[in-house]
Amino acid sequence: MNRPSSSPVKKDAPAIERQPIDGRKLAQDFPILKQKVRDKRLVYLDSAATSQKPFTVIDAMNEYYHTSNANVHRGLHMLAERATEIYECARTRASWFINAARPTEIVWTKNATEALNLVAHGWGRRHLKAGDEVVVSRLEHHSNLVPWHLLAKDKGVVVRGVELNADGTLRLEELEEFLKGGKVKLVALAHVSNVLGTINPIAEISKLVHAHGAILVVDGCQAAPHLPVNVRELGADFYAFSAHKMLGPTGLGVLYGRFDLLQQMDAFLGGGEMIEEVKLASSTYKDPPLRFEAGTPPIAETAGMTAALEYLGRLGMANVRAHEKELVTYALEKLKEVQGLKVFGPADPELRAGVVTFEFEHIHAHDVAQVLDSEGIAVRAGHHCTQPLHEWLGSPSTARASFYVYTHQEEIDLLAKGLLKVKKYFA
């Protein structure tokens, strides 16, 4: 019997330290990257929107459906046992990936957006009251703003936003001022900005937040795929991310929560498998994490996630970070050759991840993306779900190139060349 490789769960040997990543070589593992688009070799620079998937992830999901498909935590038959093992082994592996204290601190969700909504709903509605303050920042993705806005409407909670320094870093002194006011109960911040690439100093922030008796929710959507993340060292109380941005499948997200906090949370969705006992007019609920996983969950996706985490584990997250830092350093220099191009975010590559957002003053970002697309280069254009940040940038729309393990320098050269074409075309 061809058993899924994800079962039983085994801890990887530690990745070889400081092993340089060869993006061009790794790209061979990603079938989608072998194709041509518009008669040109595809240059995929939109990994912040979603990453591409290696063969191993696609194969793991395929194999799951070939050999192990069943529902989890329900049946007593062989396939049900196997599916449950795959589902729970992936949870264990995800807990190792971010160094959670135990697998039961990992809640499977649909995506990071749902994970953040789960905190707002399950923790916020239970523990916050009118007049309490929630602090966010100017650089947040809408997924880490709107759930708090909904909570504000519902409970009379006040949402306050930390502004940015000119280089796109957080004004930490402003956060401290808010905290000193004594009303802040929760701070919700991105670990890495999806537009500026800014890496926020979460370990420093968590100390500040905890010293004032608040909890820290971290949107790790653009960090977990790209940096070594250790939730206990960071001091994150909750940490949310999506599988699809880290080589894994769509339809699966992760909410890490400190177990004591998860225990104090109300269920978000009600239904099958999250219950302890149901009577006609009332019900009681399971302990976390199952309390938050109502209904049939994404199962094949957890098989894919295990393969994605194995792939990243083999590379070593410190090596992934080093690779992207090299790429972003190169890109910041290379794009200086494109006169008239304004690049946003911190100038110091130490402070930023592999995301480069830019604009030409008189050319709409959609036009930039379209000309690049005609060259086979995929970038994202728009407000990137960060309208408050774009208000601050003074532009409703920008273009963004984002990198990952399979990106290599030659693709950044092609981007620069493409941008020169854009300029020429609209001159």
| Site for ligand C6P contains 143 (CB under 6 A) | yes
Alpha-carbon torsion angle 322, 106, 116, 319, nearest 10:
0
Q: Name 123's Cβ contacts closer than 8 Å, sequence gap at least 6.
A: 186, 215, 238, 261, 264, 265
Q: Report whether 354 contacts 329 (CB < 8 A).
A: no
| Site for ligand C6P contains 301 (CB under 6 A) | no
In the complex with ligand C6P, which residue's Cβ is closer, 70 or 351? 351
Give the whole-angstrom CA distance, residue 400 versus residue 344. 10
| Site for ligand C6P contains 399 (CB under 6 A) | no
Figure out which of the listed residues 91, 121, 138, 141 binds ligand C6P, where binding follows CB under 6 A. 141
* Number of residues engaging ligand C6P in binding (CB under 6 A): 17
| Site for ligand C6P contains 198 (CB under 6 A) | no
Find, among 411, 426, 222, 402, the residue nearest to 341 by Cα: 426
Tokens of 138: 């100017």
In the complex with ligand C6P, which residue's Cβ is closer, 221 or 422? 221
In the complex with ligand C6P, which residue's Cβ is closer, 112 or 217? 112
Tell me which of 217, 341, 385, 422 is the catalytic residue: 385
Tokens of 111: 């995506």
| Site for ligand C6P contains 384 (CB under 6 A) | yes
Figure out which of the listed residues 299, 385, 415, 422 binds ligand C6P, where binding follows CB under 6 A. 385
Tell me the three state secondary structure of residue 108: strand
- For residue 264, is it left (φ>0), alpha (ψ between -120 and 50) or beta? alpha
Residue 169 CB, nearest approach to ligand C6P (Å): 16
Beta-ladder partners of 255: 107, 240
Figure out which of the listed residues 194, 206, 319, 357 binds ligand C6P, where binding follows CB under 6 A. 194
Residue 69 CB, nearest approach to ligand C6P (Å): 25
In the complex with ligand C6P, which residue's Cβ is closer, 49 or 150? 49
In the complex with ligand C6P, which residue's Cβ is closer, 7 or 137? 137
Q: Report whether 273 contacts 108 (CB < 8 A).
A: no
Phi and psi dihedrals of 381, rounded to 5? -130, 145
385 annotated active-site:
yes
- Spell out where 22-92 has E strands: 36-37, 40-41, 43-44
Q: Of residues 238-277, which lie at the interface with ligand C6P (CB under 6 A)?
A: 242
Span of 6-14, 69-77, 136-144, 324-332 interacting with ligand C6P by CB under 6 A: 136-144
Q: Of residues 209-238, which lie at the interface with ligand C6P (CB under 6 A)?
A: 219, 221-222
DSSP string for 374-410: HTTEE-EEE-TT-HHHHHHHT-S-EEEEE--TT--HH
Q: Of residues 155-174, which lie at the interface with ligand C6P (CB under 6 A)?
A: none
| Site for ligand C6P contains 323 (CB under 6 A) | no
| Site for ligand C6P contains 380 (CB under 6 A) | yes
Give the whole-angstrom CA distance, residue 94 versus residue 404. 20
Residue 49 CB, nearest approach to ligand C6P (Å): 4
CA-to-CA separations, 90 to 108, 308, 312, in angstroms, rounded: 10, 10, 14
DSSP string for 237-301: SEEEEEGGGTTS-TT-EEEEE-HHHHHT---SS--TTSEEEE-SS-EEEPPTTGGG--SS---HH
| Site for ligand C6P contains 190 (CB under 6 A) | yes
In the complex with ligand C6P, which residue's Cβ is closer, 83 or 368? 368
Residue 46 CB, nearest approach to ligand C6P (Å): 7
End-to-end CA distance of the chain: 63
In the complex with ligand C6P, which residue's Cβ is closer, 83 or 227? 227
Span of 71-79, 81-89, 106-114, 266-274 interacting with ligand C6P by CB under 6 A: 106-114
Figure out which of the listed residues 111, 198, 206, 306 binds ligand C6P, where binding follows CB under 6 A. 111
Question: Which is it for the CA torsion 289, 291, 292, 294, positive or negative?
Answer: positive
Q: Of residues 24-63, which lie at the interface with ligand C6P (CB under 6 A)?
A: 48-49
Residues with catalytic roles? 385
**Interface positions with ligand C6P (CB under 6 A):** 48-49, 111-113, 141, 143-144, 190, 194, 219, 221-222, 242, 380, 384-385
